[in-house]
Amino acid sequence: MLTTWVVAPTCLPLVVRRCHACASERFRADGKFRVNANHKLLDAWLLALCAACGATMKLTVLERAHVRSIRPELLDRLHGNDPALAAELLQDPVVRRRNRVALDWNNAWRLDTGGPVHLDGGVLDVSVRFTERIPVRPVRLIAEGCGLSRGEVERLGAERKLVSAVRLSGRRTGDFTFLLKR
């Protein structure tokens, strides 16, 4: 029987970038935007606060964009400080590359297994689905979902009792399936 596990965010991830005021490298984005107009050109930034000292960092969203080129619903979401827009923009690789930042997803996601997992001598067929592109180690997901240690999950993989079409080492951000025989 196929079981579906879901990896979902619980909050916005931390933004990794060095603070100009202190030695911290983590910023907390809470969905606040700043929009500045200069005649018919707009600039928009996503604001983030340093986790240690509270200094503000601006992540560029729009730079010298003509007012008519911006969709009205996007402009409304920027003015309304939409947290869902902040999550979308943090996931956007173009925005991250432009601002030279990375994301720290530690303690910002949860695994929903749909109930307790029973490993009593049977076969567990699981499909893991990601609602956002959250980089997580599959070994960690399997260990957390089945109530095992990571070492035991790796041992089961070495004994061919844990099989998957994808590589279970490293990090994944996309859906995958695995089969666990006990």
Six-digit token pair at 141? Answer: 């997901």
Q: What pLDDT digit, counting tens, does each position of 26-46 carry?
A: 999 989 999 999 989 999 999
Which stretches of the chain are DSSP H helices? 72-79, 83-91, 93-99, 138-146, 150-158
Q: What pLDDT digit, counting tens, does each position of 147-173 carry?
A: 889 999 999 999 999 999 888 888 999
pLDDT of residue 119: 67
- Quote the CA–CA distance of 138 and 142 in Å, as a whole number: 6
Q: What pLDDT digit, counting tens, does each position of 84-126 carry?
A: 999 999 999 999 999 999 999 999 999 999 877 776 667 888 9
pTM over 0.85: no
Alpha-carbon torsion, ordered 49, 51, 55, 57, to 10 deg = -40
Q: Angle CA(96)–CA(132)–CA(172) in degrees, nearest 5?
A: 85
Is residue 9 predicted with pLDDT exceeding 90?
yes
